[in-house]
Structure 1
Amino acid sequence: MKITWGRKKCLALSAALAVSASVLPAAYGTGLPGSAQEKEMEQESRPMAAARPSAEAGTTALLNADDIESFADQFFARDDVQAMDIPGAVLIVIKDGEIILSKGYGYADRERKIPMDPDTTVLRVGSVSKVFTATAVMQLLEQGKLDLTSDIQTYMGDIQLNNPSGTPLTLKHLLTHTTGFDFPDLKRTDIHMDLGLFTPMEDYIKEHMPTVVRQPGTTFTYDNFASMLQGYIVQNLSGMPFNEYVDQHIFQPLNMNSSSFLLKDSIRDKLATGYSSLGQPVPLYTLKPTDMPQGSLFATASDITRFMLMQLNGGALDNARVLEEESVLQMQQIHNAIHPEVPHMGYGFETAYHNHHNGHSVIGKGGNIPGFSSWMWLLPEHNTGAFIAYNKDDTLTAELRKEWFNAFMDRYFPESEPKEYITSTREELLRFEGTYRDLRQKFLVSRVSVTPEGQLEVQSGKTSKILRQRDALLFEDEDGQPLAFKEREDGSILYLFYNNPVSWAEKMAEPDGFIDVPDHHPYASYIRELAELEIIRPEPDGSFGPEIPMTRAQFASQIVTALGLEPSKVPVMFADAAQHPEAALLQTALESGIVRGTAPGIFEPDKPVTRQEAAVMLWNLMKTFGTQPGEAILADETDEWAREAVQGLVANRMFGPEVIVSANGSVQFRSKDVLLRQEAAALLYFMLRQIY
């Protein structure tokens, strides 16, 4: 469906300013596989099919009201943008204290033909919430109620942190997403339809408090829980509910009259309808906790604009001062970066889409939440900012906000100086070789190697890129995407940052071998990779047992481990697995839709898993990543309930050397045979390469 034009507003500063319980939630950055954020990570360096409109080579277009509106209209008329079938969007652009574009496109409610309006349409803005939470923290800092470098345990009341690291966890760590937490991100059950249920923040934190597993301040991983703890500390120290504090101290002073962290009646009346990836209306939902500092903000585009204007005006707007100028500078300053040219976090603000910063300083905040996506960015040195939001969340619309940012930057703030490159010897590059596993999403793996020609190559999922070197620890792929390394004092490599914008990846150690898996073993490469990623480990005697049958519990647990999902804290719902060593991981597999029981409340965890049962478990997962069913000629018998799964794996060539493909194309998958450990290793190996 085409996007229809909405109304235009160009105002001066004086006048200004299908979800269901089974859907995997998209991030405020949530960590669950299949979310819009993870799809966006996968596509970050992938160019759109259509060329981007831009200024003529060597020129910079003048950013003014007439040009930006014409450019925005052309952008939304592009074939690739039209193909995204977005119900509606709002755009705001500000320059030198004025709103030079405020416009709605399409519909806030497609069925009722209600147009998108930047002044009156309320949207869920997801993780854009985090910048407001950080603003509240900075206000309390100004009041002398907290210190950014003190142990936050001081501010947590009777809630105890799980911090065995020996290093205090501070508000600076929370603000810069360097906590070192493991990640209990949003659960399926945290999105629900019981609008009358209120879940207090304190209760949620007590139930889900994560553990510090890395020394705070040493690594970067996007951290929803960190922002929730910020909000909880604001609530504790101010003596009022978080949403009330933000309303009184940020929204009211800025006249953000259509903004709230709670779904009030006044908000609900003006809320746009969100749409699923299939274009279906998303049922109205609420969250746990209900007052959610990291992601429950509702706002109009005009309200967000007033916040942006305040940030670009040193903390004040009209006659209201929300922050001191020094606090604003602290929020906008980069406090965490793997390399000076690859920044990550200010306080609340983040950086993304680095290959289109074009040498300019850009800070921003994006948000994805079921039914909605948004992206706000500022160029403080140019006194410029922009905001886009729209009411659809899927792979393509997560791409939209990036495409708009890229097009905007290329037109108005293009690269001003040519990049310079250096050359290293093959021997100098060898220290970068290795397998790197994402700290936040363990199924995201990058493999770095030196080519025979002496160039560094990175493989992520199904794609490989040749890198050019720009600095001792900074490289760039063929699409201009930066790849940066972090080293130890001795020069060995610790971490990599590449095309996952929200986390570093750790360099994995060489795994110990297995006494029963020699290098020439037909499954050696699969087994070795799983061992390198710490999905499997040797038995006490150093063996692997390649021909030992897998049990149902073992295979389900290995899938969960490969994904990096945490063991569930909910008692397992399978009665026959209540005391099983893998009970917590089985419950995670159930909650994630990977497994079902063999009968109500029954899983038979120690029963050998058949190959078709294993195929169904994997296929349940693959579908959440968007893998499509495929056709395959199966030469042996497969039960009907497993046929789609087996055909899907075979069509995507997800099998080891035990599977025989005949000359006529038929495949002997051996569906009813028991799955052996070596065969399971091959399936998991191909699963990881398929989903990323």
Structure 2
Amino acid sequence: MKKIMITMGILLLFLQLGMPVLAQEGQREVKTDETIERQIDQIMDKYIGKKIPGASIGIVQDGEIILTKGYGVSDIEKKTPVDGGKTVFEVGSITKLFTWSMLMKLAEEGKVKLDADIQEYLPKGTLNLTFDKKITILDLMSHTAGFEEKIEGMDLESVEQLKPLKETVTKENQPKQIYQPGTVTSYSNYGANLGGYIIEQVTGQSYTDYMNKFIHDQLKMDHSTFSMIYDDQLIIKDNLSLGYEPDASSIKKGKRFLGNDIPAGALLSTATDMSHFMLALLNDEKEAPFSLFKQSDTLEQLKAHSYSMVPYTPGNAHGFWEKEVANKRIIEHSENTSSFSSHLGLAPEERLGYVLLTNIGGEATGIRKELETLLYGESLPDDDLTPKKSVTDKKLVGRYRTARTMQSTMAKLSSIVFDSDIIITEDKKGGVNVKLPGETEYIQYVEVNSGIYQKVGNEQKTTIEQGGLNLKHLYFEFSDDEKVFRIGFGTVADFLPVTILNTQRFNLIAFVLSFVSFLATLIYLLIKFIRERHKKKGTNWSKNYMFLTIFSSIGLLVWISTFFMTLKFAMNPTMIISSMKWLFYINWLLPLSTIAMSGYLVANWYKYKGKKLTVFLLLISLLTIIIFYNLNLFF
């Protein structure tokens, strides 16, 4: 999970710190592949102590742990070495894999059905949905339930603010459902929380208690917990790594994640414990000491493909994200919090998996890519893939924004201000050029099949690719009117076409025009009033000008209010937006005064002085009202 910027914005870390590179052997179980260990050491040496303070890795294959090892430090100041078996990291969003696994377990036990309406398992009135189409557990797993993003109130200041799930998944706290279920992929922490709440309702136990008991009893994950409060769990408290944030050319101590999204991101764990989980996920042959399910079919189903934009292409596998590397099917999940980053990847057919836990936020150094190449092999370029023109190329041209966005509150402003859009242009030689947010290089794609474009070449040009995201294929889907409905890379969120009203350029121009118009009008009227007073013609100052002065003053006041709201939100994006309700009330003065001014103008049209200026300002006011309404600045 993140404090939201925009889903595709991954930070590039150029951090140069002189921290020691320490390697600590963890609890190696069964065997160690010395060749793999040496190669892992070489990769780690490039990053640990330079761009990443500390990390821990676990590798499993053929039912055995072949390596768990710690590198670097868990506390820069104290120089505490990372231990692969003991040092505890925030696992963040990889927590969701445990939530989905337990729902599969309950399905195996006949207590839930993956394709049933989730409202069958929730108390009546829990949700306030926009669409009649049912949401299923499969929709929650594939992040296609249709919920918008919501970070409001996500970061807590103290443990006293922690609440039980039944109080955090209520319709009052529910993100608005803005997409019909099953139609758009939009990564959702709330969806995972609903999954956790279903576990509570079906088992009669709290999510935390149920999950802790399972991982401790069945997986022997003794250094792990789903609890946000762990003062009584000394094995966690005494071994928990500090987290760090990149800060320009240095690293600063970060803040631990404290929030109510327990089923979405609460897990704390070690590389060894996570290796136990991987062994269970790969235990099709029943030879490993850990199991998730009683039936092999359930495990096979968990790892099987379950959703994608284009049929028979990589997408989602019951909560895992799919991709292909070196002709191997990979299922994986990553996490990036403000102070920790982790990755878990499995090659099911090879019975191979690895987990990387780091104590740096927003990690995009390239370490994951190198580990992936070492363990899975390197994907070879398609030499015969050359640019060629397609009738679809022109249709794809445009601007696209992540579906994982905030739409129903003023937080929508962030997706416009930060201009995180994908831009697609037509390549003269054939195919399309794709520019990702924050990147300077374009990626060229050519159409290779219906609904599928493929990247030309194998060069990893972008920071996002270096961070481990697979951009080999670009998928698209048309609506019934043959316009692009969505595009995507088969990952955590689709991208949807952006209308002119929601572009950064349009809003910036409109904002400046509106503010300058109200300010300039007020200045003009004040100068006019002073001049007439100086000429002793104050009696000629008509009501028209007086009302126009009041109107322009209200417009300026509303803009000052909006600037203050925006500043407060920018300083704390997870703030409770309703805490600024009085500023929203001030903004309502603009439409009310516009109606009043329009009525006065019409009523006094023939004897009205300053018609042109008043009409101009009314038009500016209408433009401002449209923008404010679109950005939810009235409520």
Q: Distance in 1 between matches of 2:380 and 2:395?
A: 33
Unaligned runs of 5+ in 2: 15-30, 406-414, 461-470, 520-555, 594-616, 628-635
**What is the aligned partner in structure 1 of residue 402 from structure 2?**
438
**What is the aligned partner in structure 1 of residue 53 from structure 2?**
87
Structure 1 position 579 matched with structure 2 position 545: no
Deviations 1:619-640 (A, max 9, x none): xxxxxxxxxxxxxxxxxxxxxx
Q: Distance in 2 between matches of 1:477 and 1:605?
A: 52
Q: Distance in 2 between matches of 1:200 and 1:341?
A: 40
Selected match of 1:192 from 156, 171, 175: 156
The AA in structure 1 aligned to 2:497 is K
**What is the aligned partner in structure 2 of residue 218 from structure 1?**
183
Cα shift at 1:578 = 5.4
Structure 1 position 203 matched with structure 2 position 181: no
Whether the 8 Å contact between 1:93 and 1:385 is mirrored in structure 2 is: yes
Structure 2 counterpart SS, 1:336: coil
From the superposition, tell whether residues 373 and 317 of structure 1 become closer, same or farther in structure 2 (CA, over 3 Å): farther
The AA in structure 2 aligned to 1:382 is E
Matches within 5 A, 1:54-133: 65-78=33-46, 81-82=47-48, 84-133=50-99
Cα shift at 1:548 = 5.4
**How many residues end up aligned between the 2 structures?**
508
Deviations 1:95-116 (A, max 9, x none): 1112222111111222223211
TM-score, normalising length: structure 1: 0.65
**What is the aligned partner in structure 2 of residue 275 from structure 1?**
244
Selected match of 1:388 from 356, 369, 378: 356
Selected match of 1:301 from 271, 279, 301: 271
Structure 1 counterpart SS, 2:336: strand
Selected match of 1:322 from 292, 295, 306: 292
Structure 1 position 360 matched with structure 2 position 337: no
From the superposition, tell whether residues 471 and 83 of structure 1 become closer, same or farther in structure 2 (CA, over 3 Å): farther
**What is the aligned partner in structure 2 of residue 502 from structure 1?**
492
Cα shift at 1:380 = 0.4
Structure 1 position 486 matched with structure 2 position 477: yes
Matches within 5 A, 1:409-488: 409=373, 412-415=376-379, 418=382, 420-421=384-385, 424-425=388-389, 427-441=391-405, 442=415, 443-461=419-437, 463=440, 464-475=442-453, 476=455, 479=459, 481=471, 482-488=473-479
Deviations 1:48-77 (A, max 9, x none): xxxxxxxxxxxxxxx981221111111122
Deviations 1:599-647 (A, max 9, x none): xxxxx9999xxxxxxxxxxxxxxxxxxxxxxxxxxxxxxxxxxxxxxxx
Identity of aligned residues (%): 23
Q: Distance in 2 between matches of 1:567 and 1:87?
A: 27
Q: Distance in 2 between matches of 1:582 and 1:199?
A: 34
From the superposition, tell whether residues 197 and 451 of structure 1 become closer, same or farther in structure 2 (CA, over 3 Å): closer
From the superposition, tell whether residues 526 and 180 of structure 1 become closer, same or farther in structure 2 (CA, over 3 Å): same
Higher relative contact order (CA 8 A, sep 6+): 2
Structure 2 counterpart SS, 1:378: strand
Whether the 8 Å contact between 1:193 and 1:285 is mirrored in structure 2 is: no
From the superposition, tell whether residues 173 and 554 of structure 1 become closer, same or farther in structure 2 (CA, over 3 Å): farther
Q: Distance in 1 between matches of 2:311 and 2:67?
A: 32
Matches within 5 A, 1:256-295: 256-262=221-227, 263-264=229-230, 265-266=232-233, 267-278=236-247, 279-282=251-254, 286-288=258-260, 292-295=262-265
Structure 1 counterpart SS, 2:305: coil
TM-score, normalising length: structure 2: 0.70
Structure 1 counterpart SS, 2:205: coil
The farther-off stretch of 279-288 and 161-170 is: 279-288
The AA in structure 1 aligned to 2:93 is S
Whether the 8 Å contact between 1:377 and 1:386 is mirrored in structure 2 is: yes
Q: Distance in 1 between matches of 2:71 and 2:383?
A: 37
The AA in structure 1 aligned to 2:308 is A
Structure 1 counterpart SS, 2:364: helix
The farther-off stretch of 67-76 and 228-237 is: 67-76
Structure 1 position 246 matched with structure 2 position 219: no
Q: Distance in 2 between matches of 1:167 and 1:202?
A: 23
Q: Distance in 1 between matches of 2:116 and 2:380?
A: 41
From the superposition, tell whether residues 369 and 285 of structure 1 become closer, same or farther in structure 2 (CA, over 3 Å): closer
Q: Distance in 2 between matches of 1:548 and 1:82?
A: 55
The AA in structure 1 aligned to 2:186 is T
Q: Distance in 1 between matches of 2:243 and 2:90?
A: 9
Structure 2 counterpart SS, 1:483: strand
**What is the aligned partner in structure 1 of residue 372 from structure 2?**
408
Cα shift at 1:340 = 5.6
Q: Distance in 1 between matches of 2:5 and 2:435?
A: 20
The farther-off stretch of 234-243 and 194-203 is: 194-203
Q: Distance in 2 between matches of 1:525 and 1:201?
A: 37
The AA in structure 1 aligned to 2:496 is E
The AA in structure 2 aligned to 1:228 is N
Cα shift at 1:159 = 4.1
Whether the 8 Å contact between 1:254 and 1:317 is mirrored in structure 2 is: no
Whether the 8 Å contact between 2:342 and 2:358 is mirrored in structure 1 is: yes
Cα shift at 1:274 = 1.5
Q: Distance in 1 between matches of 2:400 and 2:252?
A: 38
Whether the 8 Å contact between 1:310 and 1:317 is mirrored in structure 2 is: no
From the superposition, tell whether residues 342 and 261 of structure 1 become closer, same or farther in structure 2 (CA, over 3 Å): same
From the superposition, tell whether residues 308 and 556 of structure 1 become closer, same or farther in structure 2 (CA, over 3 Å): same
Structure 2 counterpart SS, 1:190: coil
Structure with the bigger percentage of helix: 2
Q: Distance in 1 between matches of 2:49 and 2:217?
A: 39
Cα shift at 1:417 = 8.0
Q: Which has the larger radius of gyration?
A: 2
Cα shift at 1:238 = 0.3
Cα shift at 1:183 = 1.7
Deviations 1:246-291 (A, max 9, x none): 12234311111121111323221221122222433335563225xx
Structure 1 position 332 matched with structure 2 position 303: yes
Q: Distance in 2 between matches of 1:217 and 1:284?
A: 34
RMSD over aligned CA atoms reads 4.0
From the superposition, tell whether residues 140 and 76 of structure 1 become closer, same or farther in structure 2 (CA, over 3 Å): same
Whether the 8 Å contact between 1:259 and 1:297 is mirrored in structure 2 is: yes
Whether the 8 Å contact between 1:315 and 1:328 is mirrored in structure 2 is: no
Structure 2 counterpart SS, 1:69: helix
Cα shift at 1:341 = 7.3
Whether the 8 Å contact between 1:192 and 1:287 is mirrored in structure 2 is: yes
The AA in structure 1 aligned to 2:197 is Y
Q: Distance in 2 between matches of 1:316 and 1:339?
A: 34
Structure 1 counterpart SS, 2:58: strand
Cα shift at 1:315 = 8.7
Q: Distance in 2 between matches of 1:192 and 1:545?
A: 35
Cα shift at 1:137 = 0.6
Selected match of 2:559 from 518, 534, 552: 552
The AA in structure 2 aligned to 1:288 is N
Q: Distance in 1 between matches of 2:287 and 2:258?
A: 32
